[in-house]
Chain A
Amino acid sequence: MGLQVSNMRLRLGVNPIPIAIVVIIILYSFVVSLFAPYDPSAWNMVPRDQPPSLKYPFGTTSLGQDLFWLCSYALRNSIIMSLLVSSIGILIAIMMGVIAGYVRGRFSSVMTFIIDSFCALPALPILVLLFMMMREYLSPLTMALWISIFSWSWPARNIRSIILGLRERGFTYIAKFSGYAIFDLIRYHYLPYIYGLVVTNFLGIMLWAIGIETTLAVFGLISLTTPTLGLTIFWAMNYQAIARGIWWWIFFPSALLILFIASAYFVSLDLYRRAYLRF
């Protein structure tokens, strides 16, 4: 089995370009930001409104920040925040998905109903209202906690449908009749099947969270002390960067975001395909 799987992987191959982009961006955000010569988010550290040059590869902002360092720092914060969201979200998703898929009867339909209604809720306006009301108290942690409330429903649906299928498989019955406790059954027999799915869903939540965090930041609903890519774009829009011709202020954060999200999604698609081959 192991050999077969690895053969398949070799034959399938993965697209190296998105992986390379993701690795470079992660290096840029997590390693490069450590070497910032000055606090990247502090104002008036460098001359204002400088176009990209050898000295300032991404240019500088009207607030006197060096975009090269600011972007790396901001991207790092965006990624950390989304990791937080997806860690919480995936835990809820596994719990809800496994229970809704495994248990039968009324309880299961209630769980399924809850999952479906969270899928159908428009998260953005609710988060906007919430964040506006606690604007002064927003920190990356509280933001991540609140965003994760809306993050788990789609993965939970996904996991539930897989568990529904597994429940009817022969090995479930064998395990049950040989006296496996439900928890052990799930732990040893079901989780190996959904690992791949869990990983892709984890990435999925992460990308969604970066998106929603950026959206809220563009709306100005974020803690202003922790720079993220969304916040950088927010300031650029607030200072009319496009109209004033300071295109680099919006271009570099957006381009980094688009590159990262798109290539991370390609990586997760590859993982998803592999996860499905295991069935």
Chain B
Amino acid sequence: MYSNALSTRVTKSMIKSILMWISKRLIITILVIWIGVTLLFIATRLSPMDPASVIIGRITAWGAGLGGKELEKMRQSILQLYGLDKPVLYQYLDFLKGVITWNFGPSLAFFPTPVIDIINRNIWWTVFLLLTTLIVSWILGIVSGVLASYFEGRVSKLAVTISAALYPLPYVIFALVLFIIFTIIIPIYSGVGGAGFTIPSLTWSFIVAAISRAWLPALTLIVLWVASWLLTTYSLGISLKREDYIYYANIRGLTRQDIVFGYIGKNVLLPQITALILSLGNMFSGALATEYIFSYPGLGYLILLGLQRADYSLLLGVCTYAIVGVAVAGLILDIIYPLIDPRVKYGFTGE
């Protein structure tokens, strides 16, 4: 209706301020990754256990008849392999180098196989699950939240109450409840078991297998996330509704559709994108917990494997992937942000 005449022409200063924005975000992303990775490093070094004794413990548990001397030698070579025989600062730099060169060493459970190979095999399951559920739940949650805040009534109140009851539930518990419902009470989910670990391919049978395996974890995440987006959008929408410009739009006789989507919806979008960027970490954690419960073959399943086999490097790899993945996803959203927020274009990037 009001074409934003100002924004039709791209000026040099606009490009400059957008580039400024992006480079600032890039630095922030790198710093976030650095903080996360450093936390990981501290976590691993604080532990009273070292991976060498873990591996040796496994080997002796398998009943290999090794003498004390051999074990000690083995221990030394494992320590060398992981660089644990050097001073802590050196270890830290080594660790950072591993992250930068994207190399987490061999897995302990599947010994010579590099951790990256294992993760790369499974990560697409997580990416696929996360992307679809994230987008679907974000859109559904915001649309329903805006509608619930504009058309207050019995339905809206019911939706908000149900969301408020679901929103704080831990993912594992909700996943467990859905798992029990759909495998025992109404047995229609049968994705558990070895199926689905086939190599991804674009065949019809694979797609069917993947969907039959993914729909229940996806449902878990979508329900919980829609609840959370609905709740936050609702409270944003309620406070927006009291703003003068909405009142004015009503007086001007704009259609409901214009007010709901153009006025409330658009203004809800910005804080909700910020919220999305900040909640990516939490959402990722939730997805991992859900995958764990359903033994869905993504990173959550690798956590299960890593725990069962005390595979320290595999878990370390999964954690690093998680930290970097979340930070990069945030960066991508940050880059999209100027398209939605016109203030960035004109250099008003303050709070």
Task: Tell whether, in the assembled complex, residue B176 and residue A125 are in contact, meaning their CB atoms are under 8 Å apart.
Answer: no
Task: A257 to B318: give the CA distance in the assembly, Å.
Answer: 29
Given A221-B307, A265-B168, decide whether A125 and B48 contact each other with a Cβ distance below 8 A. no
Q: How far is the CB of B200 from chain A (nearest CB, A)?
A: 23
Q: How far is the CA of A59 from the CA of B285 in the complex (A)?
A: 33
Tell me the complex Cα distance, A138–B31, Å.
30
Query: Contacts A113-B28, A269-B164 given: A124-B180 contact, CB under 8 Å?
Result: no
Q: How far is the CB of B82 from chain A (nearest CB, A)?
A: 13
A 90-125 contacts with B by CB, 8 A = 113-114, 116-125
Asked if A218 is at the interface of the complex by the 8 Å CB criterion, the answer is yes
Contacts A221-B307, A261-B168 hold; do A130 and B43 have CB atoms under 8 A apart?
Answer: yes
Quick one: which of A128, A233, A242 contacts B184, CB cutoff 8 A? A242
Q: Is A262 a contact partner of B168 (Cβ separation < 8 A)?
A: yes
- Looking at the assembled complex, report how far the CB atom of A140 sits from the nearest CB atom of chain B, in whole angstroms: 18
Most chain B CB within a 10 A radius of its CB, from A114, A220, A269: A269
Contacts A133-B43, A137-B48, A254-B176 given; does A125 touch B315 at CB 8 Å: yes
Does B135 lie at the interface of the complex (its beta carbon under 8 Å from any beta carbon of A)?
Answer: no
Cβ distance B135 to chain A, nearest Cβ, rounded Å: 19
B289: chain A residues within 8 A (beta carbon): 124, 215, 218
Question: Would A122 and B281 count as touching, CB distance under 8 A?
Answer: yes
In the complex, per-residue mask of B296-307: 1 if CB is within 8 Å of any chain A CB, else 0 = 000100011011
A220 to B168, Cβ gap below 8 A? Answer: no
Interface segment among A24-32, A38-46, A60-68, A204-212: the answer is: A204-212
CB–CB B310/A119 < 8 A:
no
Known A123-B285, A124-B285, A125-B303: A261·B49 in contact at CB below 8 Å: no
List of A residues within 8 angstroms of B48 by Cβ:
134, 136-137
B184 CB, min distance to chain A CBs, angstroms = 6
Contacts of B176 in A (CB 8 A): 218, 233, 250, 254
A167 to B349, CA, bound (A): 20
Chain A binding surface, main DSSP class = helix
Question: Judging by beta carbons under 8 Å apart, are B281 and A132 in contact?
Answer: no
Is A207's CB under 8 angstroms from B168's CB? yes
Cβ A129 vs Cβ B40 within 8 A: yes
**Interface residue from B43, B172, B173 paired with A129 (Cβ < 8 Å):** B43
Q: Do A130 and B285 touch (CB < 8 A)?
A: no
Q: Is the CB of B315 within 8 A of A120?
A: no
Asked if B170 and A210 make an inter-chain contact with CB atoms under 8 angstroms apart, the answer reads yes
- Bound Cα distance A113, B24 (Å): 12
Check if A120 sits within 8 Å of B170, measured CB to CB: no
From residue B87, how far is it (CB to closest CB) to chain A in Å? 20
Q: Mark B158-195, 1 if CB is under 8 A from A, else 0.
A: 00000011111111110011001001100000000000
Q: B171 to A215, Cβ gap below 8 A?
A: yes
Smallest distance from the beta carbon of B50 to chain A beta carbons, Å?
Answer: 9
Q: Does B132 contact A (CB under 8 A)?
A: no
Contact call A123/B281, Cβ cutoff below 8 A:
yes
Which of B12-20, B321-329, B337-345 contacts its partner?
B321-329
Given contacts A120-B280, A134-B46, A219-B304, 9 further A-B contacts (CB under 8 A): A122-B319, A129-B40, A133-B312, A208-B168, A214-B172, A218-B289, A218-B293, A250-B176, A261-B170
Question: 11 A-B Cβ contacts within 8 A?
Answer: A119-B281, A120-B32, A120-B278, A122-B284, A122-B323, A133-B47, A218-B292, A264-B168, A265-B165, A265-B168, A269-B164
- Nearest 7 pairs of A and B residues by beta carbon: A124-B285, A211-B170, A133-B47, A265-B168, A130-B43, A122-B281, A117-B32
